[in-house]
Amino acid sequence: MKHRQAQTALDVLCAIPQDSLLTAADRGYYALLRTQAEDKNYIRHQSDSLMKIAVAYFSKSGNDSMRAKAHYYLGRVYQDMEHTEASVAEYLTAASELGQEATELSCLLYSNLGFLFYEHGLLQEADSLYTRAWQAAIETKDVRRQARALCNKGDIARKKGEKHYKQALTYLTQAFALIENEDYIQLKRSIATSLGDIYQQNGELYEAIDWGKYALKMKPNLARENGLYLLLGKAYADLDQHDSARHYLNKSITSTDYGTRRGACIWLADIAEKEGKTTEALRMTQLSIVYGDSARTYEQPVKLVSTAKDVIQQQIINHYESTLSARQKYLIATLVLIIVLIALIEYRHIAEKRKFKQVKERLDTLTTNEKQIKEKLYGLEELVNQYNINKQQVTLSIREMLTEKERSEQQLTELLNQKNKLIETLSKHQFNTLIRETPIHQKIAKIKANNRVSSNKIYMTDEDWEEFIDQINLFMPHFIATLKKNYPEIKKEDIYFLCLVKLETKFSEMQYIFGCTADAVYKRAKTIKKRMNLPVDEKLKEILLEI
């Protein structure tokens, strides 16, 4: 019902002509109401232009509540646009305007701030913010937000380790009891997944499996990404039910999360070792090391972000109790976050280059070994030719040499297989890094940058697109072929579009590449999904990750 009301409100607002808003008050209220309606309809914000109008108006007019709401929704816009430092700055300003009375806005504000803290590894601070969100939800009698805050507090306790599992179970079971008879599918799935993980860690395996399967029924299409397959695989492995364990672990290994992949490989290696499959165990162990390196690349920035802990904590938790003004405080927090984010970007760039160099060195070593074995084979063939002059005398030696030749050929085949797997790993996991180094990708980046700010537009030529497709085929040979096989109705231009999605290009950036509006890009995505016979709500990015 609430969703239908929100959709109706958005439809009404969209129907209002912009030129009919004659006063600053009209424009300010319209901008705030429309952004709020889009947020309630889960529409991802793409631009801050509307909310800047609202903030400019309510900063001069209106009460504290309206100023807080304006800054909160500008923060939501920046959060969707992944401008973390700007989002935090607006949330800080909104928090300074809030009164002591609990409202829906205070629930939303503390929940979103808690998420940003949790995302950057500041668990204690996130827990304090989720507690405030929980208390505000109790006062406003909002059951769903109470359960969501308790679920978040349970996840934080779970992440702290085994000593906090009992507390985590208390929060999570309390959260589930609140919504057990409600139709909150996504929230139920999150709680059930967390409960299953704790029970698995505690060795209560049948409880873990029950909760895991319950969560699986909630959102089966998201099981790979939220770790459900890994949870079920670990539980069955602990029960020595290897077939069931391997079934779920092999599904979880295709997750986009490197930590999930690493965990799946570790458990698959353990199962293979128990079954005496040494080669398979070794291969899975090596893969777990590769995925572990990738996972650490993304975990390390948490340590860097922690340097901003004292500044941000003082600003949010103590409500600006120091002698600095609210504006000085959030500006300091913003500056600290900007510095930290720059450090994160630089660190990730260096880590990716180091990983790429390591894999390339391993590939070079295999290539050298391959060359040495080929030379050895050539020498053996020469010896065989020489001894063929007197076959009767050297029959035994020839047989031994042929045996050695077969052994060497076998080694060569194994090395070639390893080389091909390394090339495939390099292409799959460093795909975006490799493509970014190509001239055609750099040209695409130049076109985006130019068309974003310049009136002299430039666009891709047919020759450019062909070169782009050639590079995709070079670094991921089966991608386009698989697209054409699985979705024969798609057109050549659709393939260009899908390749850009594969490269994680945002829809908001594609308008500058294709020379169209953002709406046209979304419509094009819908048209392509129709040709692919995909549901309207299916995400192209998730489909392409499977290919």
Angle at 131 between CA 128 and CA 134, to 5 degrees: 155
Per-residue pLDDT band for 472 (boundaries 50, 70, 90) equals very high
The number of angstroms, rounded, from the C-alpha of 156 to the middle of its chain's C-alpha atoms is: 19
Average confidence (pLDDT) over 258-287: 88
User: What is the pLDDT, as a whole number, of residue 481?
Assistant: 93
Write the CB contacts of 365 (distance below 8 Å, at least 6 apart in sequence). none
- State the amino acid at position 285 in one-letter form: T
User: What is the pLDDT, as a whole number, of residue 333?
Assistant: 61
- State the amino acid at position 335 in one-letter form: L
Average confidence (pLDDT) over 268-296: 85
pLDDT at 151 over 50: yes
3-state DSSP assignment of residue 472? helix
Count of helices and strands (H, E) across the chain: 27, 0
Nearest to 498 by CA among 469, 463, 538, 470: 469
Per-residue pLDDT band for 179 (boundaries 50, 70, 90) equals confident
Q: Which residue has the higher pLDDT, 379 or 80?
A: 80
The number of angstroms, rounded, from the C-alpha of 43 to the middle of its chain's C-alpha atoms is: 19
User: What is the pLDDT, as a whole number, of residue 493?
Assistant: 93
User: What is the pLDDT, as a whole number, of residue 219?
Assistant: 65
Q: For residue 333, what are the CA distances in angstroms to 75, 266, 442, 487, 533?
A: 14, 40, 34, 49, 47
User: What is the pLDDT, as a whole number, of residue 419?
Assistant: 53
- State the amino acid at position 392 in one-letter form: Q
Lowest model confidence (mean pLDDT) among 22-31, 155-164, 315-324, 339-348 = 315-324
User: What is the pLDDT, as a whole number, of residue 317?
Assistant: 47
pTM of the entire predicted model: 0.52
Write the CB contacts of 43 (distance below 8 Å, at least 6 apart in sequence). 10
- CA dist 238 and 245 (Å) reads 9
Give tens-digit pLDDT for 475-533.
888 999 999 999 999 999 999 999 999 998 998 999 999 999 999 999 999 999 999 99
Per-residue pLDDT band for 426 (boundaries 50, 70, 90) equals low
3-state DSSP assignment of residue 375? helix
pLDDT at 314 over 60: no
Give tens-digit pLDDT for 10-64.
777 777 877 777 788 888 888 888 888 888 888 888 888 888 888 888 888 767 8
User: What is the pLDDT, as a whole number, of residue 311?
Assistant: 42
Q: Which residue has the higher pLDDT, 177 or 434?
A: 177
Average confidence (pLDDT) over 62-90: 86
pLDDT at 327 over 80: no
User: What is the pLDDT, as a whole number, of residue 303?
Assistant: 38
3-state DSSP assignment of residue 455? coil
DSSP string, 156-207: HHHHH-GGGHHHHHHHHHHHHHHHTTS--HHHHHHHHHHHHHHHHHTT-HHH
Lowest model confidence (mean pLDDT) among 55-59, 157-161, 281-285, 427-431 = 427-431
User: What is the pLDDT, as a whole number, of residue 399?
Assistant: 77
Give tens-digit pLDDT for 328-362.
555 566 666 667 666 666 666 676 667 666 756 76
pLDDT at 188 over 90: no
Nearest to 242 by CA among 207, 277, 202: 277
Q: What is the mean pLDDT of the chain?
A: 80
Give tens-digit pLDDT for 63-74.
788 888 888 888
DSSP string, 25-84: HHHHHHHHHHHHHHHHTTPPP--SHHHHHHHHHHHHSS-HHHHHHHHHHHHHHHHHTT-H
Percent of the chain topping pLDDT 70:
78
Average confidence (pLDDT) over 140-147: 89
Per-residue pLDDT band for 8 (boundaries 50, 70, 90) equals confident
Average confidence (pLDDT) over 128-140: 89
Phi-psi region of 141 (alpha: psi -120 to 50; beta: other; left: phi over 0): left
Q: Which residue has the higher pLDDT, 331 or 414?
A: 414
Query: Is the CB of residue 534 less than 8 Å from the CB of residue 546?
Result: no
pLDDT at 110 over 80: yes
User: What is the pLDDT, as a whole number, of residue 307?
Assistant: 37
pLDDT at 85 over 50: yes
Average confidence (pLDDT) over 69-82: 88
Other Cβ atoms less than 10 A from the Cβ of 151: the count is: 25
User: What is the pLDDT, as a whole number, of residue 70?
Assistant: 86
